[in-house]
Structure 1
Amino acid sequence: MTFNLTRRTFLAATALVSGSALAGRSAFADTFPSRKIDYIIPYNAGGMSDNLSRLIGERLTAATGQQVINDYKPGAGGAIGANYFMGTPADGYTLLQSTNSFYGIIPFVTKVQYKPLTDLVPLVLIGDAPMVIAVHPSVPVKSLPELIAYAKENPGKLAYGTSGKGTVGHLSGEWLQKAAGVELLHIPYNGAPAALQAVLGNEAQVFFGPEAAQHITAGTLTGIAVLGDKRWDKLPDLQSTAEGGLTGWAPRSWHTISIQASVPDDVKQKLNSLINSILEQPDVREKIISFGLIPGIETLEQVAQRAKDDAEQFGGLIRDAGLAIAN
């Protein structure tokens, strides 16, 4: 029997196939999730990422009826967990607890098996960790303009302590030097607590990070500004760097959940809506605040723009500081 393929039958067949494919994708999204979800935490238990993953994992289980299993893969500043994650099926059933460092810092300073923005995408904004500038009380300044003026008068004499090269704290200092035209001395320590103690003891004079908040409140450190264009409710009298004259992008640290870029778009959208509905719960917001974060709700497009901006800006700071490696 001969089958004559006319234009009409061709279009009808194409529409049938296309419709079936779309129906298949929609059906998959409608039934997602239908089994357990693996949740990769690329750091040791007990830290911020662990706290957030436990909180969100419990609520995901309650919302979906599916078990969420935390799987810890620490090491190399998160790169080991990220590399492991990229080897898992891109079906939405494996999530990666992450920060903006996975887009703006880690891929530039560590060997990883993914490209930021093209292989990995953020699903939500869990919360921002405000980057506070604080100084030892011996430094005779009370505001960002005063700090900049003092640093210009004393080039290289102010040291800032951080948890290591290539960290957000380190790059915050690089940003301030570039944005304000000042010269600071970087002293890396073994972790943020050690760096903070160094500033409290006047071994270094400047610190960048949310950990300084309690010491600013206690009066053992002087608060200068919060990086970015927003103030922090925990330190409401502290100006933002934008208010202090340094407008535009500033270094930041924010927490998210990431997924492979090749996961179907409708599954990404469903996960975004599902996790955002959890983040909107009042008691969840209260817990996130108690962890020291500013809660946030953003669409897939908004959080993707955040990642893009940070990859560009942090990447530039890393290259200027001579820290970039070829992946």
Structure 2
Amino acid sequence: MALPPLAVAVAAQPVYPSRPITMIVPFSAGGGTDSIARDMARNMADRLGQPVVIDNRGGAGGAIGADMVAKAKPDGYTVLFATSSFATNAAITVDLPYDAVKSFTPVAMIGRGPLLVVASPQLGVKRMADVIAVAKTRPGGLNFCSAGNGSINHLAGEMLRQKAGLQMTHVPFKGSSPATVELLSGRVDLFFSTVPTILPFVRDGKLPVLAVTSAQRSPLFPGVPTMAEAGIASFDVSTWWGVLAPAKTPAAIVEALNRAINDAAAAEPVKGRLVSEGADPVQLTPAAFGQELGKELALWRAVARHLGMPLR
């Protein structure tokens, strides 16, 4: 008996996934983001029954890797392991080859955590109030370092400059490691650092933590105030990790990926890794992740539009 045309068409569709998935990490191999992505890939492969292959495509603040995903076939076999730099880079770069909203389908967010505001030991400050006082009295003000133009460290420092009305100079580096070296040496004053980057130096007592940038205090540093508690109102900044697919990826595939990613992030070693680095594991639907991404883009675009913020 012949099958109806619809049944034939459905039967011809391969079960997803039927071959390896490529997860593009838009940063070089060996860094913290790459390490989390590799743990995620192994956990996802266990749940999807297919290998998840990491492809590192660093450069242009993550834009090179993001552009590859934006232009990939929307079939669920090429995805982007995105971080908060996806939003911050989009906010200040005027000529990206993709649209941060229209070119992607949000799939899942796996976690988010605060930045730590740390100061050079040579600056001699213990509180944000001390930072503001020094910035207002020192000729030329203060400087702050970052992992590069468009990074979340960069825009968080810019937000402080704008909100507190301080004279501050941005000093970009090619990554967090050289920025940390310069901070320890005293050649730069402040760093809005991700927790994994700076945690060893804080625990060894080499750098003072002045504040956390999230709305709530960090369980890792319960005695450290938030920026709002330190007198900088409405300062709520966090770094995050998530997965994006090309625009027009079928909803059924997005849902399958969302389930696998949420399960992978809730399992070890990913869950423990996030918690140990001061982040909160997160499980969001694709729609909820899209809403959060929209808020992030709006936040950083508002900072970028502020008078005196150079765009590139």
Residues of 2 paired with 1:245 and 1:122: CA distance? Answer: 35
Partners of 2:91 and 2:297 within 8 A in 1: no
In structure 1, the partner of 2:209 is: 223
* TM-score, structure 1 as length reference: 0.82
Q: Which residue of 2 aligns with 1:295?
A: 281
Deviation sequence 1:128-185 (CA, Å, 0-9, x none) = 2531111123434322234334423436332212233322212111100111222222
Aligned counterpart, 1:159: 143
Farther-moved stretch of structure 1 (153-162 vs 258-267) = 153-162
Q: 2:37, 2:111 → 1: CA distance?
A: 13
CA contact (8 A) 1:105 1:311 kept: no
CA 1:250/1:123 → structure 2, altered by over 3 Å: closer, same or farther? same
Q: Does the CA contact (< 8 Å) of 2:143 and 2:168 recur in 1? A: yes
Map 1:1-327 onto structure 2 (within 5 A): 31-106=15-90, 108-109=92-93, 111-154=95-138, 156-209=140-193, 210=195, 211-248=197-234, 250-290=236-276, 293-320=279-306, 321-325=308-312
Computing the radius of gyration over CA atoms, which structure comes out larger, 1 or 2? 1
Change in CA separation of 1:51 and 1:170 when aligned onto 2, cut-off 3 Å: same
Distance 1:282-1:124 versus aligned 2 partners, 3 A rule = same
Contact 2:110–2:261 (CA under 8 A) maintained in structure 1: no
Q: Secondary structure at the match of 1:324?
A: coil
More deviation, 281-290/115-124: 281-290
Identify if the C-alpha distance between structure 1 residues 122 and 47 changes in structure 2 by more than 3 Å, giving closer, same or farther: farther
CA-CA distance at 1:67 after TM superposition: 2.1
- Give the distance between the partners of 1:319 and 1:208, measured in 2 at CA: 20
Q: Secondary structure at the match of 2:121?
A: coil
Identity of aligned residues (%): 29
Return 45-54 or 143-152, whichever deviates more.
143-152
1:268-308 C-alpha deviation (Å, 9 max, x unpaired)? 22221221011112443113345664432222233222211
Query: Where do 5+ consecutive residues of structure 2 fail to align?
Result: none
Residues 1:71 and 1:161: Cα distance change in structure 2 (over 3 Å): closer
In the alignment, the residues of structure 2 paired with residue 35 and residue 142 of structure 1 have an alpha-carbon distance, to the nearest angstrom, of 54
TM-score by length of 2: 0.86
What is the alpha-carbon distance in structure 2 between the residues aligned to residue 307 and residue 222 of structure 1?
31
Tell me by how many angstroms 1:82 deviates: 1.5
Measure how far apart 1:265 and its partner are.
2.3
Contact 1:75 1:81 in 2 (8 A): yes
Contact 1:166–1:318 (CA under 8 A) maintained in structure 2: no
Report how far residue 205 of structure 1 moved: 1.5
Q: SS state of the match for residue 124, structure 1?
A: strand
CA distance in 2, matches of 1:313, 1:90: 28
Deviation at 1:323, TM superposition (A): 3.3
Contact 2:24 2:65 in 1 (8 A): yes
Q: Across the two proteins, how many residue pairs are aligned to each other?
A: 303
Return the alpha-carbon distance in structure 2 between the equivalents of residues 186 and 157 of structure 1: 11
